[in-house]
Every structure is written in structure tokens, then in C-alpha cells.
Structure 1
Amino acid sequence: MEQTLTAKVRLYPTAEQAKMFKAVTKEYQRLCNIVSQWVFDQHFKVNQKKFQKEMYHPLRAESPALNSLMVQSTYRTVEARYKTVRTQLSQHPYRYNTGKKNKNGEEIWKSVNRTLEWLWKPIHFKRPQADYVRNSNYSFVKKGTLLSLNVLGQRIKVPFNDRYTQSWFDQKAKLGTAKLVCLKGHWFLHIPVTFDTDDWQASDNQHIVGIDRGLRQVMTVYDEQDKTKFFSGRAIAYKRKKFAYLRAKLQSAGTKSAKRHLKKMAQRENRWMSDVNHRLSKTLVNHYGKNTLFVLEDLTNVSFDEKNQSNRDRNRDLHSWSFYDLQTKLTYKAKSQRSQVLIVSAKYTSQRCPKCGQTRKANRNHALHLYQCKHCGFTTNDDRVGAMNLYDLGKRYLSGEEKPKYTLNNVTD
């Protein structure tokens, strides 16, 4: 099995070379925006052949200094961005209140799947960037000590941080199309690196780990030894609240100084949260080692119970918490350790009793964070119940059930 990771290689250009990088990334950005407008005007009914026929030659004439292959790459860059947006739209349907109520007096909500036609305007590339094709636009020279890169009208050699590259060549890794970007005044080349890894085998599996994700507990972990580990989200929630408070304060000020501070804060919270998820996923993978099945619930399109959204801060957290980011990081780290992440349906995992199998919504007390089965009397922490049920679904998967899930057949009033 192959696994692809993105290595962020730090470049050390001279002042003159940095100017060349700035010029080529701005030009590439400009052409990407032109192509994006074309894709939007064509109602997204385009392909590489149509781009080559209608757009390539005009763009080549407009920007003769840009390498011809990089001009062609602008379409692939725009196409990839629209694919990403298409996926994001499909994963987050438009949800609206119908204004009607069901027999129980509860409001009826409906969801509508969204496509690219929901976009009001073309995708805009805000940050200067440039895509580089391996061995054509970038290559390693001088025995791997320098990077040779295309800029406008010429090619330059730049020193870089070679901390990663030796392992790439030792493992005969495949290097893909890289992206040149500037972050905080420093230049980086983001290179996709594909390694060959051993496949996870169900017959060799040693551990099953159920992982329930939430706000109060970022993760609640339950394994085959009946051990439970809680990862509290209190400190994370407190820091996110501070970020929100500072943003609101700066936005209300509206001064030039406040806007400068807001710009400096841009993406800082996301980077911090990404680091938290890196450490959490790394902790799990290192603790359980190879041949482990991690079981997570699918939180796509899951609507949280609005009765539990007691204030504005909690409402914000429920809809902006980076559940998917943690899942992504755990997935690729697990693959590198010959382990597997299984995503299962979230239905009834917090309502089903892991001891007797009865499912009652009333068993769970959100206010006390307590689960108490009305049928058999089993009592435990409500987050632990979710992790235990996910562990059970993992067992069923290993026993041969392709898509294990709990159904309405197990539900009682």
C-alpha cells in the first residue's frame, strides 16, 4: 500500500532570489484567477483538453516568461481547488427549518445537497503560489544539496533544509508536484512524498480501540483490556474562548491597528489546533503500536442536539470543532504503523447500553454526564458508553461484518 505525506521543505534564497520567487508566485496566482473565472463562466463543464484548446495559448501569449508547463499546471491547480470545494459542499448540506412541526411538537428540519452551482462567484486565489512538476520545474542538484527551480524566464539554484531528503532517497520515495509558498516571510516548497507501506491485516490485528470524540472530552478511548482513557477538552475550550474574545474585541474596535492585529492572528488558532490534533493522534498511535484497529464514528452531517447548546460559546464550539482534522491525522499516522482507522455510523452509539444492548435516549443524562440503563441498571460516564459501543462495532468488523452499525431494531422507548 502507498501512503502520501506532504513535506514542508524550507528554502534559503538570497534577497534577489526571494524577489524572483515573489514575482513567479504572483504571476501564477494571477493566471489561476483567470482560469478560475473561465471555469466559473463555463458552468464547471471543462476539462484539460478544452483548457488546452481555449485557454492555453492566450495565457502563454499573455505571460511568455512563465514556463509553459507551469501555464498548463494552472488548470490542474484550479481543478483541484474546485474538487475540494465540491467535496466540502457535499459534506455540508444546506440545512433549513421548514416551519412545520411533527407529532411530538418538534420542529422539522430538512437538508439539501449542495453542488458547485451554489457558488455565487468564482473561487479566488488570495495567496501567491506556484506549482512545480517534479524533474521539469524542480529537481535536486549538486548531489541533493541544492534545489533547481523555475522562475520567470530562468532557472535558479537554492539551498534548502535537507533534513528529510536522505530518507526519501533511501526508501526510493516518489516525489509529486510541489507547491512554492511564502509563510511569515519564509519560503517553503511543499512536496508530496509517496512511500510504500505494509498493509494492515485483520488476521494480525492486536488491539481494538473505540474513540468517542466530543467537546468536554476531546477523546474518550476504550480498548480490549476494558481500560478507559479520557482526554479533557477544558484547556482547549478555554483557549479557543480567548481567541474568540480577542477577535470580537478587535473587530468591534475597527481601527487600523486592530485590523493589523487581526491579520497577524489569521490562522493562528487553526495552526494551534492542528498541533493539538497532531499530538493527540501521535500519542494514540505510539501507545498502541502496530496492528491496531482504531474505531471512530462518522460525524459527517451529524446535527448536534440544540437543547444542549446552552450558550453562544458552546454553539460556536459545536459547529467549529476540528473533529475531521483529528480523524485525518490519526488515519495517516496509523497507516505508517500498519494499523487501520475504521469509520462507522454514529447512530445510537451514545444511546445503546453496551451491556444489554437496549437503546433508550432517556438513558443518557447530559447535565450529569451520566449513562444509566433503565433495563439492566448499567451505569457509567456517558462519553465512555460511546467509546465502548465503538469498540463493539470494531469487534463486529473483525468478525466479518463489512459495515457494522446499530439499527432501529435495537431501539426501545
Structure 2
Amino acid sequence: MQCLTVKIRFFPEDPKILRQLGKEYVRVVNQLTEQADRLGAFPKMTTKHVESLLPSAVCNQAIRDAKSVFRKSKKLGSRPVLKKPVYFINNQNYSISENTIAFPIVVNGYTRKTTFRAMTTNRDWEWLKVAKMGLMRIVEKAGKWYAQIALEIPTNVSNGETIMGIDLGLKVPAVAVTSTGKTRFFGKGRQNKYIRRKYEHRRRNLGKLKKLSAICKLGNKEQRWMKDQNHKISRQIVNMAIQEGIATIRLERLENIRKTARTSRKNKRNLHRWTFYQLQQFISYKANLVGICVEEVNPAYTSQTCPACGEKNKAIDRRYECLCGFNTHRDRVGAINIMHQPVTDGHSLSA
């Protein structure tokens, strides 16, 4: 099973009602956790014990959330206080069609399951038709309303034997090599470095002017840009895997990558800021959705070992050459070795 969240935009006629219910939901959760904190334990209760303006099904969910928050607070040693309005509905109390979404709200003191006009993408609708739906979260962002729905999607892993190895890096964000001999380079390392330098220069200038809020917004913009790049690269990789009939994708295990990865002094800062793990996660969940298995392997010496004879050599710039005559792009060498690399016990690690 693959877990993911879809986001569906919908259009309430009276947003004030949803805002009030969101505030009421948060108030109930905070009140119950505060009460449990005073008692030292979360008491047994039902909706009869809670005074709220929420529908009974939603109030039940608020009680469950409060219990979960209290358990976490016991581990953390401090009680968190929720501030952002939110509204949760369990999967038994909402319904979705291609153009509508319906869930219970309170209007003039009465609970009504209300239908809202919604926009569902073709991809999301295909997932909704086969998925097991979980909790739905109603949120407002920049004046727009969204229903965020947790899904469990069944995956059918192929029984084929075609494998793809992927090497991640800075100058070339990703290189993929298949066991059938196909190679493809993904992303533009120079563009990524340019964008990083541009944002760093802007932050430095804003820092001199002490515009802290502007620096924060700039950082968020840079993160969104990087996330978008990782989404595009991962989608291109998975599309190639589908076209080539790949059964298994192998990625390098990313533990201590910032300590072990090869890089120059000028690239060291970029190495620490590049979101390798995020890209790997995007590849994993998109591959799993289409039934492709993803494994992690030990990356030791994958960039130095000759795929032809097994001797270890250091690449000169971007070119790898071995005394046996084998030569190619050094990142391609890493992808080939990752494709064939086992871990110490002889079994690949499931991602």
C-alpha cells in the first residue's frame, strides 16, 4: 500500500461558517488537552461530556485528536496549544464525487451534511476511485478552501527483472542507467547553483537592511522552487522507468551523504543545502504508485569502482577512465554500480 494526500479545492457559499467551525474545533481540542493535563490523564468521554457547536461526528474526531495531542505532550514534557483553525472529518462522514464534496456542518444550530462544488483533477479522481480514504482535513489558504484527504492506494509490484540505478549529485542532479543499457541525465546543476547564488545574494542584501520578514519569505520561495525541481526530476525518472519496463529502481542509501559525498570547497555549501532526501522520497512514492519497487543500496565506492574490471580509480573532472579501457561520465559509473550494488548481507534495503 502507498500512502499519500490529495488536495481538492472546493467553493463554500458562506466561508464564515467554516471559519467559525474551524475555530471551534481547535478550541475543543485545546480545552480537552488542558483538562487532561490538569488531571494527569485523559478521561473517558463522549460527545455528551463536551459542550461544543460541532456536529457530533466531528466532535468525536476532536476528542480523538485531543487524546493524541495529550499523548504527545506527555512524551515532549510540554502541552502544545493549537492556534490555526482546522476542521477534521473521518471517512465515514464525508463523500466525494467528481465535481462535489459533502461533509457535515452546523447551520443555525442544526447539523446538515452540506454539498459543496469542488474541482478534482483527473489524476486525483483516478486515485480516489481505487483508494481507501482516510481522514479529511478542511483548511483555508490565502482565501481559498481545500479538503486534504489521506489515501491508501494499493500497488501491484511487477515481477520483471529489469533494474534501474540512480546516482544523485550536484552538477548532475540525477543520472539513471537501466540494466538494458539506457542512460539519461536529469536536471540542470548549473541552473540550480545559479538560483542558489541569486537567493543568497538577495538574503545578504536584505540582512544588511535588517528586513527579517523579507528574508523569511525569500527562503520559503527558494524552498518552493527546489521542491518543484525535485517533483519534475522525479516525474521524469519514473516516466522513463515506465517506458523501459523497469521492475526495480535502486537508489543510494543517503546516510551521512554530506560527509561522504565527493565535492569541491566551492560546492560544499550547495551540498549541505541540496534536498537529496526529498528527491529520493518523491522518486519512491511515485514509483510505488505505478507498481515499481524501490530499494536502497550501500553506496560505498560506487563512484570509484570500474564496472568492467572492479578496480578502483578516481575520476578526473567529469570523466572516469580505467586502465582496462573502460571510460565514461563519472556519474554514470555511480549509477551503474548502484544498479548492481548489494548491501553487506547480500540483500537490498527496501526504501
Q: Which TM-score band (shorter chain)?
A: 0.7 to 0.9
Give the match's secondary structure for 2:65. Answer: helix
- In the other structure, the counterpart of 2:164 is 209
Q: Deviations over 1:243-275 (max 9, x none)?
A: 3333343344235xx62x456546333333222
Tell me, which stretches of 5 or more residues in structure 2 are unaligned? none
Distance 2:261 2:239 in 1: 36
Aligned amino acid, residue 10 of structure 2:
L
Of residues 324, 334, 339 in structure 2, which corresponds to 1:386?
334
Distance 2:208 2:104 in 1: 45
1:175 corresponds to 2:133: yes
Give the conservation status (yes or no) of the 8 Å contact 2:11–2:145.
yes
How far off its partner does 1:357 sit? 1.8
Give the match's secondary structure for 1:246. Answer: helix
Q: Deviations over 1:14-58 (max 9, x none)?
A: 2xx32222233334445556778899999xxx9xxx5344xx689
Give the match's secondary structure for 2:201. Answer: helix
State which drifts further: 286-295 or 157-166: 157-166
- In the other structure, the counterpart of 1:253 is 209
TM-score by length of 2: 0.78
Give the match's secondary structure for 1:24. Answer: helix
Aligned amino acid, residue 21 of structure 1:
L
Distance 2:131 2:148 in 1: 15
Give the conservation status (yes or no) of the 8 Å contact 2:168–2:276.
yes
- In the other structure, the counterpart of 1:187 is 145
State which drifts further: 208-217 or 123-132: 123-132
- In the other structure, the counterpart of 1:18 is 15
Give the conservation status (yes or no) of the 8 Å contact 1:222–1:391.
yes
How far off its partner does 1:8 sit? 0.7
Aligned amino acid, residue 24 of structure 1:
L
Give the conservation status (yes or no) of the 8 Å contact 1:73–1:131.
no
Give the match's secondary structure for 2:42. Answer: helix
- In the other structure, the counterpart of 2:284 is 331
Instruction: Please give the root-mean-square deviation of Cα atoms over the aligned residues, in Å.
Output: 3.9
Give the match's secondary structure for 2:11. Answer: coil
Distance 1:339 1:173 in 2: 18
- In the other structure, the counterpart of 1:200 is 158
Tell me, which stretches of 5 or more residues in structure 1 are unaligned? 84-115, 405-413
Of residues 89, 92, 107 in structure 2, which corresponds to 1:132?
89
Of residues 35, 55, 61 in structure 2, which corresponds to 1:70?
61
Residues 1:127 and 1:242: Cα distance change in structure 2 (over 3 Å): farther
- In the other structure, the counterpart of 2:238 is 285
Give the match's secondary structure for 2:302. Answer: coil
- In the other structure, the counterpart of 1:236 is 192
Give the conservation status (yes or no) of the 8 Å contact 2:10–2:117.
yes
Distance 1:283 1:193 in 2: 23
Give the conservation status (yes or no) of the 8 Å contact 2:173–2:189.
yes
Residues 1:385 and 1:307: Cα distance change in structure 2 (over 3 Å): closer
How far off its partner does 1:377 sit? 5.9
State which drifts further: 222-231 or 322-331: 222-231
Residues 1:371 and 1:307: Cα distance change in structure 2 (over 3 Å): closer
TM-score by length of 1: 0.68
Distance 2:197 2:106 in 1: 43
Give the conservation status (yes or no) of the 8 Å contact 1:211–1:219.
yes
Distance 1:19 1:329 in 2: 36
Residues 1:380 and 1:172: Cα distance change in structure 2 (over 3 Å): closer
Q: Deviations over 1:126-154 (max 9, x none)?
A: 64333221123x3348x973422436964
Distance 2:271 2:346 in 1: 32
Give the match's secondary structure for 1:158. Answer: strand
- In the other structure, the counterpart of 2:179 is 224
Identity %: 30
Distance 2:301 2:38 in 1: 45
Residues 1:352 and 1:39: Cα distance change in structure 2 (over 3 Å): farther
Give the match's secondary structure for 2:279. Answer: helix
Residues 1:41 and 1:4: Cα distance change in structure 2 (over 3 Å): same
Residues 1:279 and 1:354: Cα distance change in structure 2 (over 3 Å): same
Aligned amino acid, residue 356 of structure 1:
C
Distance 2:325 2:181 in 1: 19
Distance 1:208 1:221 in 2: 10
